[in-house]
Amino acid sequence: MRRDVQEGQARCLSRLGRHKEALDIRNSATNTDHLTTVLNLQYSIYQGLENVEKKIMCLQQLICLHPFNPWFWKLLAEAYMSLLQNLSPLVIPEANLSQAALKCSFLFFSLFLKLLHTAKIPKT
């Protein structure tokens, strides 16, 4: 029950724009049995912060846990599209992702595109 209360506090703080406090509570609420919930919470916080790289990191972990969940793949594709749209054609910023993580991310993205061609995902 304590974890549920902490999760609720973190979600409220995130909605109020108090993202640092939300992340602090999120870190104390982590339990391996609730990793999916915690990653969804973390994704929500980073979405409020508009931190695309951290959102991608959360989605990659969620996809590793649930590789057949089309919604996580869809969100990952949208995050990559957002990242690509924000890049200037003249300047490519240094990514905080390691080369291995970047290669893995593009592999996930290409697999998602193949999934889109073979399955219908309802629009949100």
Q: 3-36, pLDDT tens digit by residue?
A: 778 888 888 998 999 998 888 887 766 555 578 8
AA letter at 20: K
Q: Which residue has the higher pLDDT, 76 or 110?
A: 76
> How much is the pTM?
0.53
Q: At 1, list the tokens.
A: 């029950």
Burial class of residue 5 (count of CB atoms within 10 Å of its CB; 0-12, 13-18, 19+): exposed
Round to whole Å and give the CA distance between 119 and 41: 27
Indicate the domain borders of the chain.
2-85+94-118
Query: Is 22:11 a contact under the CB 8 Å cutoff?
Result: yes
pLDDT surpassing 50 at residue 90? no
Query: Is 93:87 a contact under the CB 8 Å cutoff?
Result: yes
Q: Which residue has the higher pLDDT, 42 or 4?
A: 42
Tell me the fold of 2-85+94-118.
1.25.40
Query: Is 76:63 a contact under the CB 8 Å cutoff?
Result: yes
- Crossing angle of helices 35-49 and 52-65, in 10° steps, is 160
Average pLDDT over residues 28-51: 82
Round to whole Å and give the CA distance between 21 and 29: 12
Confidence class for position 58, pLDDT limits 50, 70, 90:
very high
